[in-house]
Amino acid sequence: MMMNSNSQSAPLLKEAAVKAGVSSTTTRKHFGLIEKAKDFMFAVPALIFLAVFLYYPLLNSVYISFTNWNMTKPVKKFVGADNYVKLFKNEDLYQSLKVTLHYTLLDVVLTLTIGLLLALLFNVFRSKMYAVMRGIIFMPHYISMVIAAMVFTWIYNGQYGLLNRVTELMGFEPIQWLTNPSTALPALVAVSVWKGVGFAMMLFISGMRGIPNEYYEAAAIDGASGFSRFRYITLPLLSPMTLFLVITTFISSMQVFQSIDIMTNGGPLQATNAIVYWIYTMAFTEFKTGRASALVMILFVIILVLTIIQWVVSRKQVHYEG
């Protein structure tokens, strides 16, 4: 998204790529089977854990998605693709997808943009004060979503909430932030952005610190303006960081659940009924574990495909630059 506009900085980037580039070529010779097995053994604990706690449950869900199991019934009756067919026929699916994508788009764009702006502002290392301010801005990141959601619920409260006190002081009508279909989703996004910008800022700053000073010096000699330095040096060289943030933020916002559970329960009028929350109510309130598992699979495929697309597109971009 943000790293797409840097084709003119090719020479700089090439150099950077070489510098930052990873020389993973091993010089070892006679790398026998036993050595390979030993190397592999180091990956085994992780693979076991993932297999037991992730892939097995996931495969189990695939199986359940073809049954009408309700979690409390001893029998799982095989119903073929029925769950999928019913879901695709259900307009709620498209509404829920729309909500999820809308949320994700807002969350990713806002978190990254604001995070980057904050990084530009707070990238100062000679003053202790800036270190303190960075620390404070990072704080929301380590406050649990449960608590953040409750604090914001209080701030958004229709009658006594701070936000409405402020709107009233400015002469506007109070708004029922969480029960108004057009404000509920942005209200949720705001919490996530608030929690996420500090983290994004930190990563961007770490990326900026990794950019060798010579680039800026060279650009300064060429008389490049502050903006064009940002545009042609900072932004392109931050692109690996941006990609990392885009993908991790994307994945976590596609799975938004906690704030919805506490602040809106998917409402009003399904305005915040994001997929994972819907899966959750389907399984637990409606006792449709099978159908919910099918929805899990749909979500899984969607995230997978979109992630791969982002990856491929951005990688192409990086190659193009280099």
User: Which parts of 263-282 interact with another protein (CB under 8 A)?
Assistant: 263-265, 267-270, 276, 279-280
Tell me how far apart the alpha carbons of residues 37 and 128 are, in angstroms, rounded to a whole number: 50
Among 167, 183, 228, 255, binds another protein (CB under 8 A): 255
| Chain residues 113-172 in contact with another protein, contact rule CB under 8 A | 118, 121-122, 124-127, 129-148, 150-155, 157-160, 162, 165
The token pair at 148 is 């953040």
Among 78, 88, 94, 300, binds another protein (CB under 8 A): 300
| Chain residues 17-36 in contact with another protein, contact rule CB under 8 A | 20, 22-28, 31, 35-36
The region of 6-14, 99-107, 197-205, 313-321 touching another protein under the rule CB under 8 A is: 197-205
Tell me how far apart the alpha carbons of residues 62 and 149 are, in angstroms, rounded to a whole number: 32
Least separation in angstroms between residue 228's CB and another protein is: 14
Helix crossing, 184-209 with 128-138: angle to 10°? 140
313 binds another protein per the rule CB under 8 A: no
Among 102, 210, 228, 230, binds another protein (CB under 8 A): 210
Tell me how far apart the alpha carbons of residues 63 and 78 are, in angstroms, rounded to a whole number: 9
Phi-psi region of 89 (alpha: psi -120 to 50; beta: other; left: phi over 0): alpha
70 binds another protein per the rule CB under 8 A: yes
Count of residues that bind another protein according to CB under 8 A: 134
Tell me how far apart the alpha carbons of residues 279 and 266 are, in angstroms, rounded to a whole number: 11
Among 113, 183, 228, 248, binds another protein (CB under 8 A): 248
Task: Single out the residue of 246, 237, 244, 231 nearest to residue 208, CA to CA.
Answer: 237
